[in-house]
Amino acid sequence: MEMIVIGGSAGAFQTLLSILEGMDKKIRIPIVLVLHRLKDQGSLLEKHIQLMTHYKVKEAEDKEFVKEGFLYTAPPGYHLLLEEDRSFSLDSSEMVNYSRPSIDVTFESFSRVLKEKCCGILLSGSNHDGAKGLKKIADNGGKTIVQDPDEAEFAVMPKAAIEIYKKHDVVTSNNIIKRLNYGFS
C-alpha cells in the first residue's frame, strides 16, 4: 500500500481520532484526510489531530510532494488531487456533493494515480460524498473500508457507499484500526 486516503463529514472526527490514536507507531504510510469543514477553521484541525498521532500533520499545499510519515489534510475551499509525480494539486472548481473539498474528487484522483496501491476509508457523514470515489478505488484494485453504519454517528455516507458497492470491508472503528495495523505493520 502506498497511501491511505480517509474521508468523512458529520460525526467522523471522533472516529478519526480513535483510529489515529490506535495505529501502530511503525506505520509511516502517508495518510491524506478529506473532512468537510468550514473555510475559516484555520489550523485548529491539524493541531488537534497532531495530539493524537505519531504522524507529522499539515495541510496539503499545491505542488507539494507526498512524504512518508506525514498526514495531510485537504485545505478548506479546495479539491485535493494527486499528480502522477506524487505531488498534490489544489483545485477550486465547482463543488461536488455540495462540498469543496469533495471526498469523491480526492478518492477518484488518488485511485487513478495509485491504482491497487491505494487504501480508501469512508467514515460517518450526512451526504453521499465519497461513495462513488470509494467504488473507483475498489474498481482499480485498491483496498476499501467503510465504517459500520450502525456505529457511525451519521450513517448516510457509509450506507451510500455500501449501496453502490457491496464488497467494501464494512467494520467498526476498532476493526478499522486492526485492519490498518495488520495490513501495514
pLDDT tens readout for residues 123-174: 999 999 999 999 999 999 999 999 999 999 999 999 999 999 999 999 999 9
Catalytic residue among 128, 129, 168, 173: 129
Catalytic residue among 9, 99, 124, 173: 9
Residue 120 has pLDDT above 70, yes or no: yes
pLDDT in tens, 33-60: 999 876 655 568 899 899 999 999 999 9
Residues 6+ away with beta carbon under 8 Å from 89: 62, 63, 80, 81, 82, 83
The rounded distance, in Å, linking the Cα atoms of 85 and 97 is 28
Give domain 3-184's CATH superfamily.
Methylesterase CheB, C-terminal domain (3.40.50.180)
Annotation marks residue 36 as catalytic: yes
- C-alpha grid cell, residue 107: 478518492
Note whether 118 and 3 are within 8 A (CB).
yes
